[in-house]
Amino acid sequence: MKKTLLGILSLLFVVFSFSVWASAEPPVMHEQLVYSLTSFNGASFSKSFCPANEETIYFIADQENVISPRKTIVYYWPITRKYMAGFSTLNEEMAGKFEVLQGGKVISTLAKQTYTLYYPKGYWSEKASVYINDSAREYFQKYKAAVDQFNTRLKQYYESMTQYRENFNRFLEEVKKRREAGDNNPLNAPVPKEPQPPEFVEFYATELTEGFIIKLPVGEFEIRLRADDGTIIEGSERKVVVFASRRQGGTGYEIIPGNRWTKKENCDDPSWVIHAVGKNELYFNPYRQDEYNELYHNKLEDPQNVGSIERWKWIHIDPIDNIKVLLTHQQAILQAVDKEPYFVKQIQGAELGYEIIKYDDDLKQKGYKPTFESYKVILDENLPKTDYAISTVQAENAQPVPQSERTLRLLKKDKSLYLYAIPIFPLIVGVFMLLSRKSRMEK
């Protein structure tokens, strides 16, 4: 028994050692048919690809997604345990008819369509819509025209700027000349005005591209690519799982702690509690949100992601506007906060920190833009350490926004040293038990 166990453990150790060595080897490149995906993730679009080893592609129901079969170079990256695609080395569009099947029967054959992803608040806003064919061309042209217009303005700006510098230099020389001549009277010449740069195009549209636009109801499907000679292209078959959200219309919060602007927290589920120890400045951003299955949604964002089928996650859809955020305690409103712009100011010196300040006219005049807009709740250090509530109401009629209430709990830190005393109580019970037995024995 012992020898067998020892043998098994030794074998496992050898395999373990070998696997560590083998994982350090350079990756092997493969040419492979993959699906390039632009999938609607509930709020925007996620870009990913589905390598040959992933059998299933996930989509949200009744939403347009783009799928594009391509030949590329694929290699395994042991650190992330994912396949990577070398699209810059090989990115060949696959020809053929794209078939969608359900229960083994072809339910539709798709042709390639032209599309663009349109970002109304700019590329970094992470909010986008897909437009197809004529609409796609229209939006792309709109973007292209806006960019052309911007470029024209930019050119004008640079010309004005050159002119401004010349005028300004002339102005300075004039001042110098008069001062050298002993003329200390006010200069009655106008100071040249610096031109303002043009605003960049706020929206963004991707290049017009071709792909299969797929929009399916909830269910399980199969997809494949059929070549012109009628054969099914090898490696093109995949399963498709189309799912919907479990709960819709919730209210979630993004919270920016005053001291950690870069590390935002989410308080999405109504059961979640915000714990703080006092003296906090918290910036709340309420969102409308939908709840999706974690595994499905993670796989939608990248088919190689992992997740749990039992777990659910909230996806922020849109910020909720025209509201007030309330801090209450036992129905009493302590603070009612409106949305305001804030600016993150870098602290000079060795500290290299930052502070969040209110965005005001002074900053505006200096040409700064607000870093973010939010609802600021201040937790005073003298607030009793108890439970409070954060909620959202409509600004115009004070009607509560559904599922927006969260508990905010202030923790007590001052007596935390007593935490070391609590574990002693089982020992006291133990000593009592022993003594009671001893006294019974003596009786």
Partner 1 sequence: MARSGKITRILLKKDLLFALYSLGYYGVLFVSFFASSFILKSFLDGIREEDILVTAFPLNTYLSIIIIIISLYLVLVSAISISREKEQGTLETLSYGPVTPRSFLLAKFFKDFFIGIISLGFTAIYFYLVSSLTNIGFTPGLIKALVMGVFLVSCVVSFGLFISSFTGRVRSSIISLIAILGAFLVIQFTYNSLLGIEKEALSVPLFYIRQTLHYVFQGINWISPFAFISRGLDSVVLENWPLFFTNIVYCIVYSVIFIALSIGIMNRKGVKA
Tell how strand 339-346 and strand 372-379 pair up: antiparallel
- CB nearer to partner 1: give 188 or 439: 439
Quote the tokens at residue 71. Answer: 């030949």
- Of residues 419, 439, 442, 443, which one binds partner 1 by CB under 8 A? 419
- Of residues 95, 172, 306, 411, which one binds partner 1 by CB under 8 A? 411
Q: How many residues bind partner 1 (CB under 8 A)?
A: 75
- CB nearer to partner 1: give 118 or 284: 284
Taking a C-beta distance cutoff of 8 angstroms, is the pair 153, 196 a contact?
no
301-360: contacts with partner 1 (CB under 8 A):
308, 310-312
Angle among Cα 116, 121, 123 to the nearest 5 degrees reads 55
- CB nearer to partner 1: give 283 or 359: 283
Residue 423 binds partner 1, judged by CB under 8 A = yes
First to last CA, the chain: 50
Q: CB of 42: closest distance to partner 1 in angstroms?
A: 20
Residue 281 binds partner 1, judged by CB under 8 A = yes
- CB nearer to partner 1: give 21 or 124: 21
31-60: contacts with partner 1 (CB under 8 A):
53
- Of residues 18, 123, 200, 368, which one binds partner 1 by CB under 8 A? 18
Q: CB of 378: closest distance to partner 1 in angstroms?
A: 11
Residue 245 binds partner 1, judged by CB under 8 A = no
**Dihedral sign for Cα atoms in the order 370, 372, 375, 379:** negative
Residue 266 binds partner 1, judged by CB under 8 A = yes
Secondary structure class of 384 (helix, strand, coil): coil
**Dihedral sign for Cα atoms in the order 121, 123, 128, 130:** positive
Residue 385 binds partner 1, judged by CB under 8 A = yes
Taking a C-beta distance cutoff of 8 angstroms, is the pair 338, 395 a contact?
yes
63-92: contacts with partner 1 (CB under 8 A):
76, 78, 81
- CB nearer to partner 1: give 369 or 443: 443
Residue 22 binds partner 1, judged by CB under 8 A = yes
Residue 30 binds partner 1, judged by CB under 8 A = yes
- Residue 442 has phi, psi (to 5 degrees) of -70, -30
- Of residues 228, 351, 362, 381, which one binds partner 1 by CB under 8 A? 381
- Of residues 190, 196, 417, 442, which one binds partner 1 by CB under 8 A? 417
DSSP state at residue 64? -
Q: CB of 140: closest distance to partner 1 in angstroms?
A: 39
92-131: contacts with partner 1 (CB under 8 A):
none
What is the spatial distance between Cα 14 and Cα 296, in angstroms, rounded to a whole number? 37
- Of residues 161, 273, 306, 398, which one binds partner 1 by CB under 8 A? 273
Quote the tokens at residue 177. Answer: 């000349």
Q: CB of 419: closest distance to partner 1 in angstroms?
A: 4
- CB nearer to partner 1: give 278 or 319: 278
Q: CB of 407: closest distance to partner 1 in angstroms?
A: 8
Residues 6+ apart with CB under 8 A from 83: 51, 53, 74, 75, 76, 77, 304
Query: Residues 59-88, buried b or exposed e (16+ Cβ, 10 A)?
Result: bbeebbbbbbbbebbbebeeeeeebbbeee
Secondary structure class of 307 (helix, strand, coil): coil
DSSP state at residue 308? -
CA 14 to chain centre: 42
CA 173 to chain centre: 53
Residue 441 binds partner 1, judged by CB under 8 A = no
Taking a C-beta distance cutoff of 8 angstroms, is the pair 276, 288 a contact?
no
Q: CB of 291: closest distance to partner 1 in angstroms?
A: 11
- CB nearer to partner 1: give 310 or 362: 310
